[in-house]
């Protein structure tokens, strides 16, 4: 049995580009020989069944090769609606038979690499850029063209995608001597118009997915996109529930102006939510200064409990760093320092689904477990420990925890044993 395929030319991306998915050897999944009419037929029929843009781009590029086009490099670039992303791109190379899906951070717009890339002219001004690697002016103007020349590329074209919104672009490159012929470009233009319709469909789905993930969280967004949109739709799940809030929030709101309070809350939630997400949790809701999150349980629950505790430790570390070295947005605000937070962890069954009025729904978790987590978090005022853990969570942990006694919770008939982290 042969080992895993080795990438003959490992790809490197700038720091603002993140690799999401990859396919290899896509030519094995398409006809080895076809013609332009065959590609058109595929675009009008089978391509509609493609669920992922990565597969669509990869198979389209290989079909162009099979139809006789001298295509050696192909990429698609689309914008999106997301608070942290500029967009996505799909990069195909004939030489290594790899097609990558990458996401591009919003701050890429401020980099020299972007400003000097031909794509900047396409995305911002809708221009078509044709560059020959044999032309000294093109090589001097665009560092990318100099790099492509080293790999044997003769011509590179970057153009707006026909009929597409959100500043979308496509690039083509060939090693064919003299570049693309007029006949090839004419045929490609017709095929790209059909291809653009598929791209628009996938963009709409991607934007819907991004917006839902940004506002609902990945778990809730997945439920909504899968069809759980009716009031009452949902399911019961076991989870470790995280409830936290900012200490002294009422006093801060009375002393700080609205804009300053927003800056403070953004910095606070960036650290708290960041700790949850970095450790595999799902941020479900921001409630004033409060954060509701869940660590869904699979199996015996030990992994979810360990992740929740790791997230709590991470949050405390982040807060220490924030207080010691506040960002510029907070450094200019007087009277906020230092920030502190209380975190409560409880485990049990919750209902995860749609709740609200017919005209306005919220996808969240409810149930006694959530209520009890909130009551435990309120004990922070008397126990004065940054992290409080119920016996239900403590029983799932492999590490030792410190008993803090049994306490009565409002609405709970029996006292609940509470524990704290020994190092927190």
- CATH of residue 407's domain is 3.30.70.1230
Q: State what percent of residues in the chain have pLDDT above 70.
A: 85
**Mean per-residue pLDDT, 134-145:** 93
Length of the chain measured in residues: 424
Residue 235 contacts residue 282 (beta carbons within 8 Å): no
Q: Are 142 and 118 in contact (CB under 8 A)?
A: yes
Here the CATH number for the domain that contains residue 31 is 3.30.450.40
Q: Based on the domain organization, do 289 and 253 belong to the same domain?
A: yes
Q: Chain-centre distance of CA 175, in angstroms?
A: 35
Number of domains within the chain = 2
pTM (2 d.p.)? 0.57
pLDDT at 289: 84
Residue 225 counted as domain residue: no
Give the CB-side neighbour count of residue 102, counting CA atoms within 13 A.
Answer: 21
225 vs 75: which has the higher pLDDT: 75
Long-range contacts (CB closer than 8 Å, 24 or more residues apart) made by 363-368: 363/216, 363/220, 363/223, 363/224, 363/228, 363/234, 364/220, 364/284, 364/285, 364/292, 365/239, 365/241, 365/284, 365/292, 365/294
Q: Using 50, 70 and 90 to split pLDDT, how confident is the model at 80? A: low
Would residue 6 count as lying in a domain? no
Per the domain annotation, does 281 fall within a domain? yes
Say whether both 35 and 75 belong to one domain: yes
Which tens digit of pLDDT belongs to each residue from 207-263? 666 666 666 666 666 666 555 555 555 677 889 999 998 888 877 888 888 888 888
4-37 pLDDT, tens per residue? Answer: 344 445 688 888 888 999 999 999 999 999 999 9
Does residue 11 lie within any of the structural domains?
no
Q: Has residue 26 been placed in a domain?
A: yes
What pLDDT shows up at residue 175? 97
What is the reported pLDDT for 360?
62
Domain around 383: 230-421
Q: Which has the closest alpha carbon to 45: 148, 163, 198?
A: 198
**Cβ neighbour number for residue 291 with a 10 Å cutoff:** 24
């Amino acid at each position: 049995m042969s080992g895993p395929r080795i990438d003959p030319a490992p790809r490197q991306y700038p720091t603002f580009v993140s690799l999401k998915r990859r396919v290899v050897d896509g030519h094995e999944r398409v006809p080895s020989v076809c013609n332009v009419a065959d590609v058109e037929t595929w675009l009008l029929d089978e391509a509609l069944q493609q669920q992922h843009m990565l597969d669509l781009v990869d198979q389209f590029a290989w079909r162009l090769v099979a139809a006789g086009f001298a295509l050696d490099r192909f990429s698609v670039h689309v914008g999106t609606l997301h608070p942290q992303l500029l967009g996505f791109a799909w990069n195909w190379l004939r030489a290594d038979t790899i097609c990558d899906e990458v996401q591009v951070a919003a701050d890429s717009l401020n980099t020299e690499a972007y400003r000097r890339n031909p794509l900047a002219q396409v995305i911002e001004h809708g221009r078509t850029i044709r560059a020959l690697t044999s032309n000294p002016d093109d090589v001097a103007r665009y560092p990318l063209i100099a790099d492509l020349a080293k790999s044997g590329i003769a011509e590179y074209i970057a153009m707006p995608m026909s009929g597409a919104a959100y500043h979308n672009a496509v690039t083509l490159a060939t090693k064919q001597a003299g570049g693309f012929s007029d006949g090839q470009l004419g045929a490609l233009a017709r095929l790209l118009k059909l291809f653009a319709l598929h791209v628009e469909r996938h963009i709409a789905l991607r934007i819907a997915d991004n917006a839902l993930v940004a506002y609902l969280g990945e778990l809730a967004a997945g439920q909504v996109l899968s069809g759980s949109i009716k009031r009452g739709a949902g399911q019961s799940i076991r989870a470790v529930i995280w409830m936290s809030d900012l200490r002294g929030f009422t006093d801060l709101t009375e002393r700080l102006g609205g804009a300053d309070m927003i800056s403070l809350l953004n910095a606070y939630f960036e650290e708290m939510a960041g700790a949850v997400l970095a450790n595999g949790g799902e941020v479900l809701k921001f409630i004033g200064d409060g954060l509701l999150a869940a660590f869904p349980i699979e199996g015996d629950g030990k992994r979810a409990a360990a992740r929740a505790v790791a997230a709590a430790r991470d949050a405390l570390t982040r807060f220490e760093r924030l207080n010691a070295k506040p960002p510029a947005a907070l450094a200019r605000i007087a009277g906020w320092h230092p920030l502190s937070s209380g975190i409560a962890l409880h485990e049990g069954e919750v209902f995860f689904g749609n709740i609200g009025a017919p005209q306005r729904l919220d996808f969240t978790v409810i149930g006694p477990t959530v209520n009890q987590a909130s009551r435990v978090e309120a004990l922070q005022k008397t126990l004065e420990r940054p992290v409080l853990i119920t016996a239900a969570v403590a029983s799932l942990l492999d590490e030792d925890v410190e008993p803090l006694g049994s306490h009565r919770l409002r609405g709970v008939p029996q006292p609940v044993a509470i524990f704290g982290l020994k190092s927190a």
